[in-house]
Amino acid sequence: MMQLCSESSNKHSLINVMNRFIAAANNMDETIMVPSLLKDVPLEEQEGADPVVNNNNNNDDDESALHGKQRDMYEHYLLLKSIKNDMEWGLFKKEGSGGSSFLEMAFKQEDQQQLEGGGSEGTPGEETADLEGQFHYHLQGLFGVLSKLTAQADHLTSCYKREIGGGNFIR
Q: Which residues contact 21 (CB under 8 A, 6 or more apart)?
A: 84, 87, 146, 149, 150, 153
DSSP bridge partners of 72: 42
**pLDDT digit string (tens) for 133-165?**
999 999 999 999 999 999 999 999 998 888 887
Tell if the pTM clears 0.75, that is, is over it: no
**pLDDT digit string (tens) for 38-63?**
888 887 766 544 444 333 434 444 33
Report the half-sphere exposure of 58 (CA within 13 A, side-chain side).
Answer: 3
Q: Where would I find the H helices in the chain?
A: 14-31, 62-66, 73-89, 102-116, 124-165
Round to whole Å and give the CA distance between 25 and 84: 7
